Amino acid sequence: MIKLDKVTKVYPDGTEAVKEVSFEVAKGELCVLLGPSGCGKTTSMKMVNRLIPITSGGIYINGVDNTEMDVNELRRDIGYAIQEIGLFPHMTVGRNIETVPELKGWPKDRRREKAEELLELVGLSPAELIDKYPNELSGGQCQRVGVARALGADPPILLMDEPFGAIDPITRARLQDEFLKIQQQIEKTIILVTHDIYEAIKMGDKIALMKEGQLVQYDTPANLLYRPKNEFVEDFVGADRALKGLQLIRAKEVMGSSPPTVKSD
Ligand code: ADP
Ligand code: MG
């Protein structure tokens, strides 16, 4: 679905932000780009929808080189949610969500219906909020609207850069849970950027751990925790990785089906 092949980015000032990074995200999978600040996560993500031009290598969407696609169409087919939310302040919640459907030429009724449906999906009341402006909403509500807007025209792909970043831990955990539920229904192909190992373990089908522009390990959360490839991975996931791994295991999966019994005699 999304394939990065030896992707390299050198900024005009000579900064080598991304170095020969290769990985593939299968259809319906959520891939987390993880790593310390400045390791190249945002740059890697923004090359997928060509917000940043690639220096060398290739990025393929369903096998098609993204530099050969019409850039506007490419972006309309890829939902984009960022930490700073980026809602248009002069537009109501409804119109914010309708932006891409409008660009795609959907009729007004269908756009409105979609906006209402998406607000409900992210746990907001359309009746209450659809005609409000972003500055009348709380941070958590704005972030939800940001996610709803990214889903606007039902794009097969979502790019999310720290989408749950700017909110308090409790609301964040709730939004993550809700988003995972939504993802079970909508099955988008997602690249999500975070520097938070807990978020990565919780959200990712796969995690791409980066360091200084390079991809260090691309693996399932469990393998990252239990089979770290080197010391950097080990340090990054933390000394309590065994404990973190417990998040991934359901009691019923490890419970013996026939527990030992002892008779009273
Ligand atoms: P992350 O999202 O992992 O924090 P970024 O992709 O934003 O990292 O940045 C990767 C590296 O590229 C950093 O060293 C950063 O300073 C540098 N960088 C980012 N944007 C630019 C730019 N426009 N020009 C030059 N260097 C940049
Ligand atoms: Mg970033």
Q: What pLDDT digit, counting tens, does each position of 122-175 carry?
A: 888 999 999 999 999 988 888 889 888 888 878 899 999 988 876 778 878 888
For residue 165, the ligand closest to its alpha carbon is: 2
| Residue 231 CB-half CA count within 13 A | 0
Atom of ligand 1 nearest to the CA of 161: 2
**Which residues, including other chains, have CB under 8 Å from residue 135's CB and lie 6 or more apart?**
89
According to the model, what pLDDT value does residue 224 have?
Answer: 92
Burial annotation 20-47 (CB, 10 A radius, 16+ → b, else e): ebebebeeebbbbbbbeeebbbbbbbbb
In contact, 33 and 210? CB cutoff 8 Å: yes
More confident residue, 191 or 255: 191
Q: Whose CA is nearest to atom 11 of ligand 1?
A: 17
Whether the predicted pLDDT of 216 surpasses 80:
yes
For residue 208, the ligand closest to its alpha carbon is: 1
- Residue 84 — pLDDT band, cuts 50, 70, 90? low
Q: How far is the CA of 34 from the centre of ligand 1 (A)?
A: 14
